[in-house]
Amino acid sequence: MTSLLHRLFGPNRPQPNTNARHRAILRKSLELFSIEVLAAVFGRPTNLRVVMGTAFGFFQFGKITSNYRRDGRVVFRETDIPDLEARHALLAYLGVYDLYFTKRGNDYRVRDPHAKVAMQEAEQRWHDWIVAYLAARGRFARPDWALEPLPGLDRVRIAHHALPRAAIPLRIMPRLALPTPPPSSPVRGNTKQFLEIIDISDDEDVDAQPLRSNAKRSLDVIDISDDEDVDAQPLRKRGRFLGFVDLTV
């Protein structure tokens, strides 16, 4: 019995008068609290009990307590109440436990052999849930004693790839600075350069202008109403638009 307690509980010790059902839930409740918290509350984690919900209801289900005498006085210590998510997980595990094991007795006696598969699945569900629950609180491994199976059951499957990993920083590549062209060299880019349109209407020497623009200039409207050959065009008394003259030629 002592070796079984050491295998299933590690350094923790349940109260001697607890039965197997009580100890099964106590094991799960102990996983909810870190070693530091248990040491701060109990000192040496001995004479432990868990609130099963019979006397206090579901509200305090999973809370761990301990009482002992010191100097003629009773010392009572207890942990905080587990959160609602943890209490629901404990209750789900207890429901399957009662299907497979008997509720009374100090040993793990099988009640229904056909419920073994369900009990094994309940152990696996608890493992998958507690790993994620602890990881969200900065704890990334279950204690070794918590991985030990109850008598007649197999060890749970541990998915190593599902365990959270520390973030690996990416290697920062150095930024390559582009070479700066000398002031004398023109910088050619992919952007299009637009030439400025220069008005050369008042220039005397158009041919002397080295800069030619692709813009087309519109000629003025010429009135030909007084032309000599006006009789040949009797219907056209309006000015005519002569079009554009391309200055780039």
Predicted confidence (pLDDT) per residue in 168-225, tens digit: 344 444 455 555 666 665 555 554 554 445 454 555 554 555 555 555 555 555 555 5
Output 54 or 235, whichever has higher pLDDT: 54
Dihedral sign of CA atoms 8, 10, 15, 16 in order: positive
- 3-state secondary structure at position 51: coil
Average pLDDT, integer, range 226-232: 50
Burial of 229 (0-12, 13-18, 19+ CB in 10 A): exposed
97, pLDDT greater than 70 = yes
d(CA 170, CA 168): 6
Average pLDDT, integer, range 109-135: 97
pLDDT, tens digit, 9 for 90 and up, residues 135-154: 999 998 899 999 999 999 99
Dihedral sign of CA atoms 73, 74, 80, 81 in order: negative
Looking at residue 34, its amino acid is: S
List the beta bridge partners of residue 69. 74
27, pLDDT greater than 50 = yes
Neighbours of 244 (CB within 10 A): 11
Looking at residue 249, its amino acid is: V
Q: Of 7-16, 45-54, 84-93, 112-121, where does mean pLDDT reach its minimum?
A: 45-54
pLDDT the model gives residue 66? 94
The confidence band for 163, taking pLDDT boundaries of 50, 70 and 90, is very low
The model's pTM:
0.62
pLDDT the model gives residue 151? 94
Q: Where do the structural domains in the chain lie, given as residue ranges?
A: 2-162
CA distances from residue 106 to 8, 16, 17, 55 in whole angstroms, order as listed: 14, 10, 9, 21
